[in-house]
Amino acid sequence: MSKKIKVVTIGGGSSYTPELVEGFIKRYDEFPISELWLVDIEEGRHKLEIVGEMAKRMVEAAGINCKVYLTLDRREALKDADFVTTQLRVGLLEARILDERIPLSHGLIGQETNGAGGIFKALRTIPVILDIVEEMKELCPEAWLINFTNPSGMVTEAVLRYGNWNKVVGLCNIPINAVYEEAAILNEKPSDLFFQFAGINHLHWHTVVDKNGVNRTDELIKKVYEDGEANSIVANIKDNRLIFEQVENLHMVPCPYHNYYYYTDKMLAEELEDFKNHGTRAEKVKKIEAELYELYKDPDLNYKPKQLEERGGARYSDAACETITSIYNDKRTTMTVSTRNNGTIKDLPDDCAVEVTCTLTGKGPIPYNFGSFKPQERGLLQLMKAMEELTIEAAVTGDRGTLLQAFMMNPLITSGDVAKQVMEELLEAHKKHLPNFFQ
């Protein structure tokens, strides 16, 4: 009799969970999951019940031999797990609204994973993830942790550096979406191209080579800019502001989030206009989520609805399922994930987390060696990695001085006096979820 496979999803009441379930269903032949445990907290009980019942309908409709469990008891769920996925949001969407609203009210970028908001999402998330890791050491010491909680790179590094847990993979949907979008631009199948990504989460670059060994990167850049303005693959970034000459000189394709650093003024102006007329991005997401949960209540709905794509984060959950399947079967799928650097990028510390193209094996990700960046990429990359290291340290220690240093280094926080004021306001706003800063 084959071993039962147990997967635990922490943040199981997430609106993304139906995509995760769909991913396991379509891979059942190679990954015969027998138990899926969806875990949430008391505040998320209502969503967990809605999503959980829908997950049960999806599994039943697919005719697979998998039992779905719903629980608020994390320890019960983690016992003897094979894989643990994390898709949690500490403080729920209300916390994200504060992360965006408070910086914007001071004329700073207000964004979920960048600038002041991104720092505070990390501060709230990292202690919770490290608590989960400690429970995994006790209850499922052989399990893999597959994280797609943002900021994914910082969370992954915290697990490696402070959790001393090596069986972790960090995921982001930006590289996955780029592969599909850019293959279409080049009129190729994704499987006929090799994309090499290198950098850190939400700050990476990549090149594209076809199956004949021809570098197609410059051709791709020209095609992207043919209409004079490159479209973005990110739901909350309207379009690409990077000028053609800049990208052409890189001979690499930058991540859409580079817009925040190279065109801060334009991005801020757009955000402030949206904020004035429509509220924050988080408030829009909250409305979309409310509509999704109403859909999920339909007792006849037993498949992932198309409206989920409007939520942003498309292909996240599918990437998680492919990562798990590849590790389980030593499948050696090529994917871009966050993992320990170990010399892959020479410009960054060996023990930090990087987001790079890897082969996913039974022993985890094996990165493709990248080497060194040119100065035009290296400068920003090293600055942001140092800022991440300070943020992670502050999250673990609760040291306000360390946190202030992270704020002062971040290019999206432009004034020392404003930095201190925004930092203090966000600390007070999130006091409930940041106990180590208030001891």
Could you list the residues known to form a binding site, using ranges. 96, 150, 172, 202
DSSP element (H, E) containing 59: helix 45-62
The strand pair at 144-147 and 168-170 is best described as parallel
386: alpha, beta or left? (left if phi > 0; alpha if psi -120 to 50): alpha
Vertex 67, ends 320 and 81: CA angle to 5°?
55
The alpha carbon torsion through 315, 319, 325, 327 (nearest 10 deg) reads 180
End-to-end alpha carbon distance in the chain: 52
Provide the residue count of the chain.
439
3-state helix, strand, coil in the chain (%, to 5): 50, 15, 30
d(CA 202, CA 412): 14
Token pair of 436 as six digits: 């180590």
Residues 256 and 237 sit within 8 Å (Cβ to Cβ):
yes
Binding-site residue set for Mn(2+)? 172, 202
Q: Which residues pair with 85 in a beta bridge?
A: 9, 146
Nearest to 258 by CA among 282, 240, 280: 240
Angstrom distance (rounded) from CA 335 to CA 323: 8
Q: By the 8 A CB rule, do 326 and 335 touch?
A: yes
Binding-site residue numbers for substrate are 96, 150
Residues labelled catalytic: 257
The two tokens of residue 136 are 């995994």
Residue 74: enclosing H or E segment and its boundaries? Answer: helix 74-78
- In angstroms, the Cα distances linking 294 to 291, 298, 315 are 5, 7, 22
Find the helix or strand (DSSP H, E) in which 353 lies. Answer: strand 353-361
Residues 6 or more apart from 271 whose CB is under 8 A from it? 104, 109, 110, 111
